[in-house]
């Protein structure tokens, strides 16, 4: 079992909210399809988990819209919507949450999936979409995944669902969330793959940097996997991910199944490689404790 370091400034546990930006649906990327992520976090000593979809109806979600006044330490937000997943009051509450030291992990996907994240100040600017905040390099405004024709750029092809991709550490040193003492390199080497990941970058003047990159299996183009925002001026830390599929059951083990609209043939590399499962598990716990404000990550 991975044991996190818990800061003395916290209670005897960290409260982690794992939430999607859609209401519950059997044939979609609702919270039930992140059960392995939820189970992993629940299994860690000192971590308490709330896992939920947003409430139905075109009204502010009662949890997200009041998160700044809650005892939640870290929010893992799976932005699986098509652009309408967040209300203005929820964005304002999440910004206040980070201002009071709360940690945010924000994950989206290809094209305009999760584009509601762009309504968030600062951390939302890390995410580039097809119709909003496009990547600055116009030469990247092309389809990388050319198999699923209905999905437009950004759609970086890191591999089949269920397979793993190689992670390249960025920067002069390994970021704490990427540390893995059991790895031959001392760092996490594998993430779950996905045929069409989204685009992220580090906004300027925000204590943010790219900490991990991947490479397309189609074009060999390098693309950003994770952007980390450091704490500053009392604000909490944050992580931006190019795809929520880094955390979905189907991408950890394709035998878990997927919504009916997923058409690509899956792989089984994650399930067949214990090191890949260990890496994503360690990353999740590293991320939870780092986002909570702890200076250390897991120790074994």
Give the residue among 141, 143, 125 at the shortest CA–CA distance from 133. Answer: 125
pLDDT at 201 over 80: yes
Q: What is the pTM of this model?
A: 0.94
Q: What pLDDT digit, counting tens, does each position of 23-48 carry? A: 999 999 999 999 999 999 999 999 99
Residues 6+ apart with CB under 8 A from 79: 20, 21, 85, 86, 106, 107, 108, 109, 113, 114, 115, 116, 117, 244
Q: Which phi-psi region, left, alpha or beta, contains residue 67 (left: φ > 0; alpha: ψ -120 to 50)? A: alpha
Check: CB of residue 14 under 8 Å from CB of residue 285: no
Given this model, what pLDDT does residue 10 score? Answer: 47
Q: Name the percent of the chain lying above pLDDT 70.
A: 94
Domains of the chain (ranges; CATH) run: 14-291 (3.40.50.880)
Given this model, what pLDDT does residue 98 score? Answer: 97
Mean pLDDT score of the chain: 93
Mean pLDDT of 266-282: 98
Q: What pLDDT digit, counting tens, does each position of 212-222 carry? A: 999 999 999 99
Structure tokens at 259: 């919504």
Structure tokens at 233: 């001026």
Q: What pLDDT digit, counting tens, does each position of 111-144 carry? A: 999 999 999 988 999 999 999 999 999 999 999 9
Given this model, what pLDDT does residue 233 score? Answer: 87
Given this model, what pLDDT does residue 294 score? Answer: 57
Given this model, what pLDDT does residue 194 score? Answer: 98
Q: What is the DSSP string of 4-36?
A: ----TTS-SSEEEEEEESS---TTTT-GGGGHH
pLDDT at 11 over 70: no
- Under the banding of pLDDT at 50, 70 and 90, the label for residue 193 is very high
Q: What pLDDT digit, counting tens, does each position of 145-192 carry? A: 999 999 999 999 999 999 999 999 998 899 999 999 999 999 999 999
Residues 6+ apart with CB under 8 A from 286: 176, 177, 178, 179, 297, 298
Q: What pLDDT digit, counting tens, does each position of 57-71 carry? A: 989 999 999 999 999
Query: What backbone torsions phi and psi does residue 209 show, to the nearest 5 degrees?
Result: -150, 155
């Amino acid at each position: 079992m991975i044991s996190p370091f818990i800061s003395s400034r916290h209670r005897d546990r960290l409260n982690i909210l794992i939430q999607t930006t859609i209401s519950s649906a059997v044939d979609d990327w609702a919270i039930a399809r992140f059960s392995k992520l939820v189970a992993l976090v629940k299994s860690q000593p000192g971590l308490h988990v709330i896992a939920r979809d947003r409430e139905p109806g075109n009204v502010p979600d009662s949890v997200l819209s009041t998160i700044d006044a809650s005892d939640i330490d870290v929010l893992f937000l799976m932005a699986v919507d098509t652009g309408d997943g967040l209300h203005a009051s929820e964005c304002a509450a999440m910004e206040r949450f980070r201002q009071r030291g709360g940690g945010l992990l924000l994950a989206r996907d290809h094209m305009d999936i999760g584009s509601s994240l762009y309504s968030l100040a600062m951390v939302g600017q890390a995410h580039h979409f097809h119709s909003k905040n496009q990547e600055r390099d116009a030469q990247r405004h092309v389809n990388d995944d050319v198999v699923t024709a209905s999905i437009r750029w950004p759609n970086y092809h890191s591999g089949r669902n269920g397979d793993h991709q190689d992670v390249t550490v960025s920067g002069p040193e390994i970021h704490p969330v990427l540390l893995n003492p059991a790895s031959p390199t001392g760092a996490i080497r594998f993430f779950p793959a996905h045929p069409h990941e989204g685009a992220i970058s580090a906004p300027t003047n925000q204590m943010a940097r790219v900490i991990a990159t991947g490479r397309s299996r189609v074009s060999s183009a390098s693309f950003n996997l994770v952007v980390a925002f450091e704490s500053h001026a009392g604000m909490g830390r944050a992580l931006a991910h190019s795809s929520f599929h880094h955390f979905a059951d189907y991408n950890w083990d394709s035998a878990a199944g997927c919504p009916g609209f997923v058409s690509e043939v899956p792989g089984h590399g994650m399930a067949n490689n214990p090191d890949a499962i260990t890496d994503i598990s360690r990353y999740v716990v590293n991320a939870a404790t780092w986002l909570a404000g702890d200076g250390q990550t897991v120790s074994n």
